[in-house]
Amino acid sequence: MKKPNCLVISASVIIGACAFFSGANPAFGESKKIGMLPKFTSDPYFVAVNQGAQEAAKELQVTVEFNGPVDANVAAQANIIDQWIRAGMDAITVSANDPNALAPALERAARRGIKVSTFDADVKPEARQVFLNQCTFEGMGQTMVEMMAKDAGTDGDFLVITAVLIPRLRFYPAGTNSLRKTGFTLISGKWRSGNRNGPTASTRW
């Protein structure tokens, strides 16, 4: 139960940062519109993020539109950003499915004066103003290793399965390096579609 609460708090910080950078001023009744774009909407992780975002929006007197693709679709994310540009959003915050492919859409938003930030998964730094994450990538990788070693023992073979294998997964080398220090052997790294309802391939190795 602690993880959803942490995500709610993190989302509140994200929306607070968006409101600050967009110049929201509730004291003068100036409502700002913020677009929040997850990797995909079907993941309980992002359901919790939306919960925290809406709570923060109510407190800060801003409007948060939470919208995203149903699976890890970069083109769909870019289309939503372009829709928000046309709608005149004051700020957009994104959990990117790809750090490079999504950058042009965010740069278009920035050129229109929209404040741009990322959370959870970043784009290249020049395409956004702020990146906010709930932990460091190195810390995430090391923590996953510690949890696995606690359950599996101090040696053996291991397989890494992740949703997508792109540069933003910087916890991957940190985790695998820590595992090797414990005596584990890396068999392979596998990945699947970002759609949580798709095949995981975890039973095939």
CATH of domain 2-132: 3.40.50.2300
The predicted-structure confidence for 76-125, as pLDDT tens digits, reads as follows 999 999 999 999 999 999 999 999 999 999 999 999 999 999 998 899 99
Q: Where are the domains positioned within the chain?
A: 2-132, 137-191
Residue with more model confidence, 166 or 104: 104
> How large is the average pLDDT for residues 128-132?
91
> How large is the average pLDDT for residues 153-163?
65
> Is 191's pLDDT higher than 90?
no
CATH of domain 137-191: 3.40.50.2300
Residues 6 or more apart in contact with residue 181 via CB below 8 angstroms: none
Per the listing, tokens 């109510």 go with 58
Q: Quick check: do 2-132 and 137-191 share a fold?
A: yes
> Is 6's pLDDT higher than 90?
no
pLDDT above 70 as % of the chain: 59
Q: What pLDDT is recorded for position 8? A: 45
